[in-house]
């Protein structure tokens, strides 16, 4: 799922190297914390949060296929 998340966020930010993706594995659950630079956070969240909701939905679909629970948190770096 890391590759999918990186693939979805890469076109939204100016420099993917400044984005930090932290993955926490728990019992049957994966929690992603994505730290995005202040200049790009609006692009990742989108208008009224539509972009981040879409990213979460795509991750949820992948998680269902892999039989795990997935959550995503976007923070400012």
- Domain count within the chain: 1
User: Cα–Cα distance between 68 and 61 in angstroms, integer?
Assistant: 10
Q: What percent of the chain has pLDDT over 70?
A: 100
- pLDDT band for position 8 (cuts 50, 70, 90): very high
CATH code at position 63: 3.30.300.20
- pLDDT band for position 67 (cuts 50, 70, 90): very high
Query: Mean pLDDT across the stretch 26-43?
Result: 94
Give the number of other CB atoms < 10 A from CB of residue 12.
19
- How many residues are recorded in the chain? 77
* Boundaries of domain holding 22: 2-76
Q: Is the pLDDT of residue 28 over 90?
A: no
User: Cα–Cα distance between 73 and 51 in angstroms, integer?
Assistant: 13
Query: Mean pLDDT across the stretch 45-55?
Result: 97
């Amino acid at each position: 799922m890391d590759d999918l998340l990186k693939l979805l966020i890469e076109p939204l930010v100016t420099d993917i190297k400044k984005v930090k993706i932290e993955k926490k594995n728990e019992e049957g659950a994966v929690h992603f914390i994505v730290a995005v630079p202040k200049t790009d956070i609006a692009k990742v969240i989108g208008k009224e949060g539509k972009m981040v909701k879409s990213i979460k939905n795509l991750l949820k679909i992948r998680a269902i296929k892999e039989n795990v629970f997935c959550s995503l948190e976007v923070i400012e770096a």
